[in-house]
Chain A
Amino acid sequence: MPNITLSGVAKSYGGGDYAVKNLDLTVPDGAFMCLLGPSGCGKTTTLRMIAGLEQPSAGTIAVGDRILDSVERGLYVPPEKRDMGLVFQNYALWPHLSVRENVEFGLRMRKVPAPERRARAAAALKMVHVDAAMERYPSQLSGGQQQRVALARMLAINPTVLLLDEPLSNLDARLRLEMRAELKRIHDESGATIVFVTHDQLEALTMATDIAVMNEGELQQLAAPMELYARPANRFVAEFVGSPPMAIVDVGAAPTGLAGSLLRFVESRAAGCAPAGIGIRPEALRLDPPPDAAWSEEALVEAVLPAGSSWTVRLRILDAELYALSYTPVEAEPGDTLTCWTDQMHLFGEGGDRISSWDRTKVGA
């Protein structure tokens, strides 16, 4: 099964604004790709363009050699001929058809004979564990069941590409966890290429094989989850991925305070390096006794916020306020002074792009 490629894709809904600007994206065969980004960044638009429900203003969308959209060459394949599955955020089940009829619909359209149709619909429903509710109508199902039926409806036609638009956002926390695992399983079993839209970074990090981070219609970074986390391409990705987010200290012309302290440390490591911003992830800001080759500074504890398995500590370091995330109990009280240290930093250049990351435990990047 070939790759999905988007090249130079732009979309404007009329007026001057672009919902998607010049997007180049390749979804590898068999990938589980997440489109991740804040609300309104063009994720749904991108997904709908791949499905053919929305037409790009410029650019080309192809699956393997088959061009689905090409504004430049005037080529277009309508959605009903694309053989993709799309699960809508609000499920969009057909209220006048029973669960079974909903799932059989796509097969009926493909003129699959009745016995096979039934068998395949039953199998798809079994896969998502709603085969017991086969003869019910969508209004008689719970939200979670409706969502599974929507999924089964698309699985039944064995799509090579499955598009999912925030399918888990309407579920409660427990069901969401369950469905994440189930989606992973379905991905493994069916071998389909999945493109999954979400604005929940945890969802993206736990499920995806590849993550495409978007902001304001632009692709920010395309990488594997841990790569994305370890080496964010720019300040936006760095701040968007991770919770609590990475703190980025701006380095001005003549930095003082925390910025000055960090810059002196960086320059002592790599002479001539002139970052415009230095980022530290909360969990990289440590409170245990510092090793030798690390940056360290005195910090005033402002608040300790325990959260069961982890502790978030608000610290005042020189002129700045930072969060530290610890997975071991923090004994300090507000007002105490501690030594904090880090051996992991991300350096960002003038335009916001990452210049390098420094990590003592791994060899630099």
Chain B
Amino acid sequence: MALLTKAETPPPPPRRRRLVYRLRVLRHDPTAALGLILVALLAYLVVAPLVAVVSDAFRLQYGDQVHAGQQPGEWTGYYLWRVFRSQISGLLFWEPLLNTLVVAVGTVVFAVVVGGGMAWLVTRTNVPGRKWLAGALVVPYMLPSWTFSLAWLSLFKNERAGGQVGFLQAMGIRTPDSLAYGAVPIIITLGLHYYPFVLLLVGNALRRIDAQLEDSARILGAPQRTVIRRIVAPLMLPALSSAVLLVIGRVLGTFGTPYVLGLPADFRVLSTGLYQSIRDRSTGVASVLATVIVIIGILIVFTDSRLMREHRRFVTVGGKGAMDRLGDLRRWRWPAFALGLLVFVLSVLVPVLTLLLSTVTRTPLDLSTFTLDFWLAERLPGAVGFPHGVFRGSELWTAAWNSLRIVGLASLICALCGLLIGYVVVRGSAPRIAGFLRQVSFLPYLIPGIAFAAASLSLFAVARGPVPALYGTTFLLILVMAVTHLPYSSRSGIAAMMQLGREPEEAAQIAGASWWQRMRRIIFPIQKGALVTGIVLPFISGLKELSIVIMLTTTGTELLTTLSIGLVDYGYTQLANAVVLVIALVSFTMTYLTQRLTKSSLASGLGG
């Protein structure tokens, strides 16, 4: 028996034979077909819009022939010139860019100082009410981001923008423009919204640091200050840089706050500039701006992952739950608690109460003028576009129903896609398809929401081939909303399927179950929990979403968020505030319930 020499690998069968065999196998295994469908879907919904918006930036649009001296559809550098080099490029681009930078840096500093400090307080010290603070300080993140800006207006608004003035002005204290509008209030309100983000990321990292690392340094004779500088700080760097970059990315794509607080004072940032270009129908300029935002967004995330990779060697092993020894604040305990409480009061109670009071008083916050008219009145004298309390008439209910319907469907689609992507990736019969799905489903994460909405408009606003123009349809809203939340659901879908592995399904296959039976009786029932979280998290963040939908909604498809911004446009402050309160209440309640029911932490839903 010359076995050792015999077993050369045989020559593979001819290519055509193998192909016939493969096709036969594929006919029995819908995973590959499913993978291809998902690939096509993602290519169309994620990649194509980006290609469309970039190409729109370089093609002459209708209406610009005279200025550019070219025919529509021709390749052109006209928009680049207009945005970057022309006389109005300062107004169009450079000034908004500078403002964006100012706001981003300011917000980051604010969020890091407050969030980092609070993180240290709730993870590393014996501050009284530590647990409660840890939970309460995350609440601002559950409110729509521009809640704070509306509250700000209710307090500081002056007569510049017309409509109801703010509390201080009504008291006879003049609020200067720089306090009422522009960079300062934007930074403060965005900072109040984003500091929980830093708190969560940095807090998690602090919690993971192994106390033994510090102990060993102390034993080796390092004083407390050195320990912090040489041990704790370097270990915190990855989480901190991650938080910083992600906050910058968010600020870049955020629309509501700079719109509410910036525009009245002509303080433009890139996102509001993009919005205005689209409203002005200067598609070419809008495309250039969107492309710039996309590029900055991608750069940020790449920097982040590069930094993370460099920092990976810092990852501490097995430091789980080792943080049981807390720094003793001694006589600073109560002052520290007061500080935490102050942050909570300023970031949650003050904004929410301000909004609430503003909706129940005729003169801002003057309780002697108490009224429920803004909520309930049949007729509101003086208001033209919305002449009744928010609960009257059909507007709020229609918008709420739209929100529920559109966001709900989008979340459902999103969660299903996420799970199916996970399924295809884990089945892994085609590594290249799996790789594509993994990466492309994550792509929207790199792209600030408003830029992605602009990109989708580029592709879907006009009829292309067999696809009719989708602008203004519910369908488009659902699609875009589902796609932008796909990174979270696909990541959780992949994680859930990875954890399950392929064996439970294979066991069913061996037992004789067809593909459909396996999906229906094994995969979906087992993944029920993952599916529910996959629906609820995008749903909560979708309810608060403004940046993405603001450009896509029309009168027929008003959502709660756009309704509220519309009321701001009219100058009906109290009504706008009332609507935001409704959104905040719904989103807060749902987040709270979800955390209670699924024990999932908000950190995993940081997508909001």
Contact = CB atoms under 8 A, between A and B. Distances in A.
A binds B: yes
Interface of A: 8, 10, 14, 18, 21-22, 51, 53, 55, 57-59, 69-76, 78-86, 88, 90, 92-96, 105-106, 109-110, 150, 153-154, 157, 217-221, 233-234, 236, 351-354
B21 A109 contact: no
Contact of A218 (B3, B20, B504, B514): B3
A247 to B, nearest CB: 20
Contact of A92 (B2, B12, B504): B504
A236 B4 contact: yes
Nearest to B2: A353
B503 A92 contact: yes
| 4 tightest A-B CB contacts, nearest first | A74-B20, A106-B511, A92-B503, A218-B7
Secondary structure call for the B interface: helix
A110 B512 contact: yes
A234 B29 CA distance: 41
Contacts of B20: 74
B69 interface: no
Interface residues of B, number: 41
B1 interface: yes
A191 B1 CA distance: 31
Interface string B196-229: 0000000000000000000000000000000000
Contacts, number: 134
Question: Which of B5, B8, B24, B501 has the most C-beta atoms of chain A within 10 angstroms of its own C-beta?
Answer: B24
B8 A92 contact: no
B1 A109 contact: no
B10 A59 contact: yes
B538 to A, nearest CB: 24
Given A71-B18, A86-B507, A109 B4 contact: no
Secondary structure call for the A interface: mixed
B511 A109 contact: yes
Contacts of B510: 51, 53, 79-80, 82, 84-86, 154
B67 interface: no
Contacts of A236: 4
A167 to B, nearest CB: 13
A46 to B, nearest CB: 13
A96 B525 contact: yes
A88 B508 CA distance: 12
B313 interface: no
B517 interface: yes
16 contacts: A21-B9, A55-B22, A69-B21, A71-B18, A74-B23, A78-B29, A78-B509, A82-B510, A85-B510, A86-B506, A86-B510, A88-B503, A106-B512, A154-B510, A154-B511, A218-B4
Contacts of B504: 92-95
B469 interface: no
A74 B17 contact: yes
B13 interface: yes
B24 A95 contact: no
A171 B8 CA distance: 37
Given A80-B510, A80-B512, A218-B4, 12 more contacts: A10-B9, A55-B21, A57-B12, A58-B13, A70-B21, A80-B513, A81-B512, A88-B506, A95-B526, A233-B3, A234-B3, A354-B1
B498 interface: no
Nearest to A101: B521
Question: Which of B1, B9, B510 has the most C-beta atoms of chain A within 10 angstroms of its own C-beta?
Answer: B510
A90 B503 contact: yes
A78 B507 contact: no
Nearest to B29: A78
B513 A105 contact: yes
Nearest to B5: A351
Given A79-B509, A106-B512, A234-B3, A22 B10 contact: yes
Contacts of A353: 1-4
B495 interface: no
B3 A219 contact: yes
Interface string B421-436: 0000000000100000
Contacts of B503: 88, 90, 92
A94 B513 CA distance: 13
Contacts of A95: 504, 526
B28 A18 contact: no
Given A109-B517, A233-B3, A234-B3, A71 B506 contact: no
A106 B23 CA distance: 27
Interface in B376-406: none
B582 interface: no
A217 B109 CA distance: 60
B9 A18 contact: yes
A101 to B, nearest CB: 10
B2 A53 contact: no
A21 B7 contact: yes
B522 interface: yes
B526 A74 contact: no
Question: Which of B1, B9, B25, B528 has the most C-beta atoms of chain A within 10 angstroms of its own C-beta?
Answer: B9
A22 B507 contact: no
A83 B511 CA distance: 8
A103 to B, nearest CB: 10
Contact of B28 (A22, A57, A78, A85): A78
A18 B1 CA distance: 22
Interface string B16-39: 011011111100110000000000
A82 B407 CA distance: 44
Given A71-B17, A72-B13, A94 B522 contact: yes
Contacts of A55: 21-22, 25
Given A105-B513, A234-B1, A219 B7 contact: yes
B60 to A, nearest CB: 47
Given A55-B25, A79-B506, A8 B513 contact: no
